Structure 1
Amino acid sequence: MPNGAEVELALLTLDQRGLPQGLLGNIQLSGNGDALPFRLTFNPQSFSRALRVELRGRAHRSGHLILRLPPVPIRHADSQEVGTLRLVPAP
C-alpha cells in the first residue's frame, strides 16, 4: 500500500440490486509502503445466508481516491481468511 495512503475496508450487506444495506464491520489503516495485514472484526451471528455480503475497500491520499478494491464476495462467516487483496487504480 502506498506510503501515506489512508485505507478503509468495509464488510457490507447488500440488497438484491447490489446496493449497500448495512455495515457489519469496518477498519481504517495507514499505508506504509508494504502489504497491510488487517483484522476486521464483526458479529458472525449477523451474517445471514439470505444476505449478500461483500468486502469493499478504497485508498485515499491527500484527499484524493487513488485505489479501490473490486468487491470481494464473502460467502461464509466461518472463515475470516480472504487471501491477498489487490487494489486497482481508481478512475
Structure 2
Amino acid sequence: MLSIAITVSYLFIMIAMLLALWRLLRGPALPDRIVALELIASLVVAMVGIHAIDTQVSAFLDIAIVMALTAFLTAIGIAKFIQLKGVNDD
C-alpha cells in the first residue's frame, strides 16, 4: 500500500513540476517566473523527501533540508535584488 502512495506522489509531483516549468517559461511577468522557480525548488525538496521514504535512507532528508534552505535564501536574494534595482514587470 505504501508503494502505491509513493508512486502516486511521484506522479503528482512530476505533473506539478511540468506545470510550474510551463509557467516559468511562459511568464508573463517576472514575479510569475520567480514564483514558478520557487515552486519548482519546493517540489524538488518534496521529491527528495519522498525518495528518502521510498529508499529508507535518512541522508536524503539532510539533502532536502539543505536544498530548502538554499531555495529560501535564493528567494530572499531575488526579492532584495528586485527591491533595490526596481525591476519592473515585463
Q: TM-score, normalised by structure 1?
A: 0.23
The structure richer in strand per residue is 1
The structure richer in helix per residue is 2
Structure 1 or 2, whichever has the larger Rg, is 2
